[in-house]
Structure 1
Amino acid sequence: MKISYIFFVYHAESSTLKKSAFTLAEVLITLGIIGVVAAMTLPVLTQKYQKMVLKNQYKKVYSTLSQAYSKAVFDVGGETGCVHFYEGKSNSTNTISECKAFGNELRKNLKFIKVCQGNALADKCIPPSSYKSYTEVYKEFHPDMSDDEVGTLESNCPYNKSQINNRNTVYVFNDGTIIIACNDRNDYAPFAFLVDVNGQKGPNKWGYDLFKLSFVKEKNKQYRLMPAGCDVTEKGGTTSADMLKNMHI
């Protein structure tokens, strides 16, 4: 009786196992579904990861620059006119002498390994593919702009291809970070600039790893780095203002 019982249990269990087994067709269908789901979700996960990495790089670069600029202000006596905006207004009075003095202190606090005073593309201070101009990016969302409007735009935001590649002063940090200064007074101390937070690495796009920042003196007399003018993004990117706002989230 005992032997028969054991055989019965084994036979019943083996029958159940046989009934629950998957056919080859079912396995292939399941694997196909898993593959489709993975193909749909992996790009999204990769994109989210890349955005998180770039956000952390923005945060690190912003912190490094903020500390350096604050120390430079202290080192020149707590006051400088070498700013982009002064108490809410565009500053056109910052002198070369002030920016020279401020720049001398700033260089002590920032670890530049290379400075290209023009010819940034040829001298490899910027990626070989370069960057889109401010106007190119802006026109992607405003395709009907007139030539006059384009001219005004380029005079206010001097980041066309020729300026970036051949004219603007470009600073390269020891960690690869790139700063592209705005105009000639920026040759001494960049107070309005583009910053590529991961340097030569891609994607080298506005709103992804390339952002606009300005050094300003606010109405409360405090100095800080902030997005101020010429803050555009390529499709799918994030403005410098939004990056700064969401930096600690």
Structure 2
Amino acid sequence: MNMPEGLRKFTLTRIAKFTKFIKQFNPLTKREGKELGYTKFDSGTYTVLTPHPSPRPLRAMENQASLSKGGGTNVPEGFKKRKAAFTLAEVLITLGIIGIVAAMTLPGLMGRYREVVMVNKLKRAYAEIVNAMDMERARLGGSDYEALFETNMSAAEQFDGILRHLQVVERCASNDSKGCGGIYKIKPKKRTNDGFGNVALGSVGGERAVLSDGTLIWFGKRNSNGGCVTTYIKHEVDADGNYVLDSSGNPITTTYDSPHCAEIFFDLDGSNGQNQFGYDCFSFGVKKQFADQHSGYGAMFDTMRTGKLTYERYDISDKF
């Protein structure tokens, strides 16, 4: 992991101060185990360095143990050979370093883990919804998705046709404001002007349902007359994203047609999550032959292709 230079210097400074603080309680710079219990052969005798009482003398007391004729060594009674070990200062310094490194790396690891979980849930939800649409198209005997959106069918009937092929645990009509997590706001993936200088917000509404894995799916029938041609309204805006008004103070708009049959939105963790497009909320438009990405509603296909969530954090109280 590449650590920013400023953070690296700060970390090293804190470690140095911590080390200095610990050593004032244990000023020994050598491990006692390297000096005590160490034996060496010297002029026909073994020299054994023994433990010393506190306070420590300048030179450790040497006990001479002569070799016996049988080859054994006479060690003073009560002597215990000491092994090399870490000092308290070294242990505390090591623990301090581990704590600092963990504090710097764990947030990033957890964030990446959540991202992987969300991307995998997105792929699964999209595959299940498209599969349900394909199964309904086959059931109706249609050659394309337009068969799902006949002119004589209401939005509820069209939605139920898709839901029959999904594992639904709760179904809520468009006039139900309490069920399926209720009606709640959703943030765009990027800070967007609503045309009046405020942050634009979407909302959950219309025909909707909760699937067995907790995913909330809701449905937008684009053309009230059915079919797969939808008329959209586009507002003229200035450089800051505010609506341009006519002489009467009304927003200037234009209309255009788009070959969309419907739009399907879904929230991967329901109303309890972050509720933001590009993080846990996504959508796609349904055309005759395929599903179409809406970049402003989470860039679903880009997210599945790259494995990266594309959203920014901002406060909904911001002004433009």
C-alpha distance 30-208 of structure 1, shift in aligned 2 (>3 A): same
Q: Percent identity?
A: 25
Determine the C-alpha separation between the residues in 2 that align with 1:169 and 1:105. 12
SS across alignment from 1:182: strand
1:240 aligns with 2:317: no
Aligned partner of 1:22 in structure 2 is: 86
Determine the C-alpha separation between the residues in 2 that align with 1:183 and 1:55. 26
Q: Give the structure-1-normalised TM-score.
A: 0.63
Cα-to-partner distance string for 1:96-154 (whole Å, 9 max, x where unaligned): 4266675453232123332322355x4131378x33344xx54x2x56x743x98xxx8
Aligned partner of 2:291 in structure 1 is: 225
Q: Which runs of 5+ in 2 are unaligned?
A: 1-66, 227-260, 308-320
Q: Is the 8 A contact 1:82 1:99 kept in 2?
A: no
Aligned partner of 1:131 in structure 2 is: 185
SS across alignment from 1:67: helix
Give how far 1:14 is off. 4.7
Q: Give the structure-2-normalised TM-score.
A: 0.51
Determine the C-alpha separation between the residues in 1 that align with 2:219 and 2:129. 14
Aligned partner of 1:211 in structure 2 is: 282
Determine the C-alpha separation between the residues in 2 that align with 1:202 and 1:32. 35
Q: Which protein is richer in strand relative to its size?
A: 2
Aligned partner of 1:235 in structure 2 is: none
Determine the C-alpha separation between the residues in 2 that align with 1:196 and 1:226. 18
SS across alignment from 2:123: helix
Aligned partner of 1:39 in structure 2 is: 103
Q: Structure 2 counterpart of 1:227, which letter?
A: Q
C-alpha distance 203-40 of structure 1, shift in aligned 2 (>3 A): same
Cα-to-partner distance string for 1:63-96 (whole Å, 9 max, x where unaligned): 111111111112222234268xxxxxxxxxx654
C-alpha distance 76-116 of structure 1, shift in aligned 2 (>3 A): same
Determine the C-alpha separation between the residues in 2 that align with 1:23 and 1:127. 60
Runs of 4+ in 1 over 6 A off after TM superposition: none
Q: Is the 8 A contact 2:221 2:262 kept in 1?
A: no
Q: Structure 1 counterpart of 2:297, which letter?
A: D
* 2:172 counterpart (116, 126, 129): 116
Q: Structure 2 counterpart of 1:107, which letter?
A: L
Determine the C-alpha separation between the residues in 2 that align with 1:73 and 1:179. 19
1:3 aligns with 2:3: no
Larger relative contact order, structure 1 or 2 (CA cutoff 8 Å, min sep 6) = 1
- Listed as ranges, the matches of 1:140-219 within 5 Å are 140=191, 142=192, 146-147=195-196, 160-161=202-203, 164=204, 167-183=205-221, 191-217=262-288
Q: Which protein is richer in helix relative to its size?
A: 1
C-alpha distance 200-231 of structure 1, shift in aligned 2 (>3 A): closer
Determine the C-alpha separation between the residues in 2 that align with 1:184 and 1:225. 14
Give how far 1:38 is off. 0.9
Q: Is the 8 A contact 2:222 2:263 kept in 1?
A: no
Determine the C-alpha separation between the residues in 2 that align with 1:119 and 1:22. 70
State how many pairs are aligned: 198
Aligned partner of 1:76 in structure 2 is: 140
SS across alignment from 1:176: coil
Q: Structure 2 counterpart of 1:23, which letter?
A: T
Give how far 1:241 is off. 2.4
Give how far 1:61 is off. 1.0
C-alpha distance 200-31 of structure 1, shift in aligned 2 (>3 A): same
C-alpha distance 42-133 of structure 1, shift in aligned 2 (>3 A): closer
Q: Which has the larger radius of gyration?
A: 2
Q: CA RMSD in A?
A: 3.7
Cα-to-partner distance string for 1:177-208 (whole Å, 9 max, x where unaligned): 1112235769x9x9302211233442333212
Q: Structure 2 counterpart of 1:56, which letter?
A: N
